[in-house]
């Protein structure tokens, strides 16, 4: 069965979901995106994701011709068109059609498409046993060039780091900033647990302020688990009691080995497992109704 795609206000078959070769999203990576999950007929943190999309657009001077409510409804419409209750949404806004020059003001109208489909980022066994991660030589770009809070279409930096990790036989790669502090993984935020306290790098060290990252702060508050931001080095992960990663696609997954060094006893720790359980309960108990 062909997937249905929301494209500039219309639901079209996957084969007909096409954009121009002159679109600046293709030519220059000039655009933004969001990845959003939905569970059991409800979209998790839809408003937060769409708010971040609009903030990314503002940072790039990309004028959105759709209102906040229209984008939310378009997202739900894309899911309904595919008859899905569980899955993943990729929402993309490009600068639109222009010429072969860089000038974004020659792109009169942005384009938006929304894909609703299934996703499995990691096999279930890694949620049970944990991930082995390696440090990549590819560094996160400095916030002085482009804020890590902008989810732009140019992910080549992350792609190159992902290639390094895969070539090293790992499922994920740890990325440092130019000062050598931990930023994030190629697609996930990083947390450690030390003496019962959860610690994650501040966004000023080069990480995206992820929606799932924020959920962990909320869950820790609910569960009485102390949590704070602090700059981390690889040493801090090597010597942590536990570590885990978070992301919309990855959800919450344990990190049990970094650069051949076992984190803790090399198994998912009790705090990580408690947060994973709480997260899985939360995403299935709240959200925006799809309305199938």
* Residue 280 pLDDT: 96
- Residues 166-185, mean pLDDT to the nearest whole number: 97
What is the DSSP secondary-structure string of 22-70? TBHHHHH--EEEEEEEEETTEETTHHHHHHHHHHHHHHTT---SS-HHH
pLDDT for 116 beyond 80: yes
Helix (H) or strand (E) holding 173: strand 172-176
d(CA 32, CA 147): 13
pLDDT for 33 beyond 90: yes
- Residues 165-191, mean pLDDT to the nearest whole number: 97
Domains of the chain: 4-117 (3.30.470.10), 124-283 (3.20.10.10)
State pLDDT tens for residues 249-292. 999 999 999 999 999 999 999 999 999 999 999 999 999 999 97
Q: Which member of 58, 63, 109, 151 is catalytic?
A: 151
State pLDDT tens for residues 197-206. 999 999 999 9
Mean pLDDT (the chain, rounded): 96
* Farthest-apart Cα atoms in the chain, separation: 57
Please indicate whether residue 58 is annotated as part of the active site.
Answer: no
State pLDDT tens for residues 207-246. 999 999 999 999 999 999 999 999 999 999 999 999 999 9
d(CA 271, CA 254): 10
pLDDT for 145 beyond 90: no
Tell me, yes or no, if the pTM score tops 0.75: yes
């Amino acid at each position: 069965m062909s997937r249905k795609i929301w494209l500039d206000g219309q639901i079209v078959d996957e084969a007909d979901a096409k954009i121009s070769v002159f679109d600046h999203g293709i030519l220059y990576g000039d655009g933004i995106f969001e990845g959003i999950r939905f569970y059991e007929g409800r979209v998790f943190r839809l408003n937060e994701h769409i708010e971040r999309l609009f903030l990314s657009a503002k940072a790039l001077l990309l004028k959105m011709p759709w209102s906040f409510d229209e984008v939310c409804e378009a997202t739900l419409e894309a899911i309904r068109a595919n008859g899905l209750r569980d899955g993943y949404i990729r929402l993309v806004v490009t600068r639109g059609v222009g010429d072969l020059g860089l000038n974004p003001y020659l792109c009169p109208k942005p384009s938006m498409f929304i894909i609703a489909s299934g996703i499995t980022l990691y096999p279930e066994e890694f949620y049970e046993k944990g991930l082995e991660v390696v440090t990549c030589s590819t560094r996160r770009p400095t916030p002085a060039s482009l804020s890590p809070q902008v989810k732009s279409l140019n992910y080549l930096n992350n792609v190159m780091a992902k290639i390094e990790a895969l070539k090293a036989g790992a499922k994920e790669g740890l990325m440092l900033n130019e000062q050598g502090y931990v930023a994030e993984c190629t697609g996930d935020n990083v947390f450690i647990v030390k003496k019962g306290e959860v610690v994650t790098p501040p966004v000023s060290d080069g990480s995206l302020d992820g929606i799932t990252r924020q959920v962990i702060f909320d869950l820790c508050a609910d569960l009485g688990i102390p949590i704070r931001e602090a700059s981390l080095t690889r040493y801090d992960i090597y010597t942590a009691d536990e570590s885990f990663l978070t992301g919309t696609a990855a959800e919450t997954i344990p990190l049990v080995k970094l650069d051949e060094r076992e984190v803790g006893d090399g198994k998912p720790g009790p705090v990580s497992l408690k947060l994973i359980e709480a997260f899985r309960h939360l995403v299935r108990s709240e959200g925006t109704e799809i309305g199938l």
